[in-house]
Structure 1
Amino acid sequence: MDLQCFLCWRVALLLLLSPCGLQCMSVHVINRQPVHVVPGSDLVLKARIEQGPLESISTLTWERELETGPDPKRVTLATNVGRSIRYVGTRPNIFVKVDEKETTLEIKAYSDEDSGVYILTVKDHKGANTSAQCIVRIYEPVHHVSVSINVSHSSLVCGEAWGTDPHFSWLHEQVAISSTVGTVSKDGTTLIVTKTPFCGHFTCMVSNKLGHSSATYTAAPCETGGRGTTAAVVCLIFLLLFGGVLAFLLWRRRRHSNRGERLHEHLDAI
């Protein structure tokens, strides 16, 4: 029994003296990265703070630095000391909320200058810092859509420059692609054409939250049986109408001719 107590006290002492054990603080940004924000809307970043039973937060700081560049200078957005929030050299559109296990940073009317790497640093009561970061970029509209052809594989490839979260769709002669025309890849960028002959207008539509753009590849004109049948029917109707009019004119002329002959015979008899 004494041995068990001795072992328990020894384990507890090791946990207290260890750098972690029950006292390790961790910080995690909840947002899925990278975060893309539509210009003029609000940026909301959430982070979860996990701390041991003997841990307490001394200082909480949100900072931002450029994502790329030779000297990414950090800018302090807000600092929380205890229960108060102090703004340091920022616009009044930045708000910070601190709960027991979570903190939220909100920036109203997001603009391009707000893009970068956001760093959250939490300092505990012993002065140890724990950090987490998140990349934030501006949401870009769709740009420069193009369609190229891979002749050897009978496929069309749709490209887009740098729009955020582009969605691809295809049309053939302004109608959605069907199985008789071809199949579209899972990401929507490639159309494998199975239609023979390879003809008509193929349009790639690319869209996201800010709008859409398109590009069209034009192949040889399609000759369809339906058009030929329609033309034949029109010609037949025209011939029938023309024949009917001609027959009517001949009948009318013959009728007038017969009436003239009868009138002439009647006059001779008088």
Structure 2
Amino acid sequence: MDKFLFLCSLSASAGVMDLQYFLCWRVAPLFLLMPCGLHCMSVHVLNEEPVHVIPGSSLVLKAQIEPGPSEEVSVITWEREPETGIAPERVTLATCPGRSPECTGTRPNVHVNTKQHETTLQINGYSRADSGVYAVTVTDNRGTKTTAHCIVREYEAVHHVSLSINVSHSSLVCGEAWGTNPNFSWLYERDAVTQTVGQVSKDGTTLVLSMTPICGHFTCVVSNKLGYSSATYSAGPCEKEGKGTSAVVVCLVLLLLLFGGLLAFLLWRRYRSNNRGERLQNHLDDTV
């Protein structure tokens, strides 16, 4: 505020009696009426929300406090309320003096520690009941309160993976119910997908096929920190390489066997006919 008044005085001393100078002194009283002038205390949670926590682990929330030049932190309060509901009930987790480095919460597993311009809430043994909207409220020495919020949710395992084919776009689409931070990967016949098979989208949910015809087994694997689940799409069986050549070879072998059998039969007929003629000639000679 002092800098603002100095600029207004500087404009007046420079003889700038214009609309800018008039507006400058018109706006000045508005800043005087503000409860904390140009330097209000601010607080914001450093965690990127929503924060997902694995059950049984520890929830840690950090908030940064920026007081004004003449302000001091008097009280720090951490609270929680349900994320949804008509009339959510707010629960106080801890109320700590601003100068106290450590503070015990309302429950044995709740702890708060405060450093210069920073406060940290830690809840050990996180459970589903600890999910909700967390609020940190900082009260200064004048009684002014500033609040920041953060959404905390339970880290969910992967559930119900599904796989479908979009025939018109020659693509496979993988879906998952409600797992937290799902990661998608693709397999073709139990091996990683290559460019020959297709290309995976940036989010990993879609496999655009490039192979023709579409055949074999395609598997979508969805995983996160708590495990994985998969689904498989089975297309028609693929023709193996050299199948046509093998069929030709089989046909040739069958023809050779057939020809060989026919030749053997003819030779046997000829041999039998010759043998019968010789026996008949011998019989006639004996009779004469």
TM-score exceeds 0.5: yes
Indicate which of 69, 76, 80 corresponds to 1:64. Answer: 80
Conservation of the 8 A alpha-carbon contact between 1:16 and 1:22: no
Confirm or deny that 1:115 pairs with 2:141. no
Residue 233 (structure 1) shift: 9.7
Residue 168 of structure 2 aligns to a residue whose secondary structure is helix
- Helix, strand or coil at the partner of 2:89: coil
CA distance in 1, matches of 2:187, 2:7: 77
Flag the structure with larger Rg. Answer: 2
Q: Offset at 1:23? A: 3.4
Which residue of 2 is the match for residue 255 of structure 1? none
Distance 1:130 1:226, change over 3 A: farther
CA contact (8 A) 2:155 2:180 kept: yes
- Is 1:149 matched up with 2:165? yes
Q: Does 1:35 align with 2:51?
A: yes
Counterparts of 1:175-254 in structure 2 under 5 Å?
Answer: 175-225=191-241
After superposition, the CA RMSD in angstroms is: 2.9
Measure, in 2, the Cα distance between the counterparts of 1:82 and 1:169.
49
| TM-aligned CA deviation for residue 190 of structure 1 | 0.3
Query: Does residue 186 of structure 2 align to residue 170 of structure 1?
Result: yes
1:7 equivalent in alignment to 2:23:
no
Change beyond 3 A, Cα 1:172–1:59: same
- The one-letter amino acid paired with 1:25 is M
Partner AA of 2:179 in structure 1: G
Deviation of 1:15 after TM superposition, in Å, equals 6.3
C-alpha contact 1:173 1:200 (8 A) present in aligned 2: yes
- Deviation for aligned residue 1:21: 3.5
Q: Equivalents in 2 of 1:232, 1:96: separation in Å?
A: 80
Which residue is equivalent to 2:93?
77
Deviates further, 45-54 or 22-31:
22-31
Establish whether residue 138 from structure 1 lines up as the match of residue 154 from structure 2.
yes
SS at match of 2:68: coil
Write the deviation string for residues 176-224 of structure 1: whole angstroms up to 9, x where unpaired. Answer: 1101101100000000111111101000000000100000001101112
In structure 1, the partner of 2:264 is: none
Structure-2 change in CA distance of 1:86 and 1:169 (3 Å): closer
1:130 Cα deviation after fit: 0.4
DSSP-derived class of the 1:83 partner: coil
Deviation of 1:19 after TM superposition, in Å, equals: 3.0
Relative to 1, partners in 2 of residues 1:56 and 1:178: Cα closer, same or farther, differing over 3 Å? same
1:128 to partner: Cα distance:
1.1
Name the structure 2 match of 1:251: none
- Of the structure 1 ranges 12-21 and 205-214, higher mean CA displacement relative to structure 2 is found in 12-21
Note closer, same or farther for the CA distance 1:231–1:168 as it changes in structure 2 (3 Å cut).
farther
Output the amino acid matched with 1:174.
R
TM-score by length of 1: 0.78
- 3-state SS of 1:225 partner: coil
The two structures have a TM-score, normalised by structure 2, of: 0.73
2-structure distance, mates of 1:208, 1:5? 57
SS in 2 for 1:7: helix
2:110 match: 94
Give the secondary structure class of the aligned counterpart of 1:206: strand
More displaced, 124-133 or 14-23? 14-23
**Residue by residue, what CA displacement relative to the aligned partner does 1:18-37 show, whole Å, maximum 9, x if unpaired?**
43435300001000110001
Q: Is the 8 A contact 1:141 1:163 kept in 2?
A: yes
The answer to whether the Cα contact below 8 Å between 2:40 and 2:68 also exists between their aligned partners in 1 is: yes
Letter in 1 for 2:132: G
Report if the CA contact (8 A) 1:158-1:189 is conserved.
Answer: yes
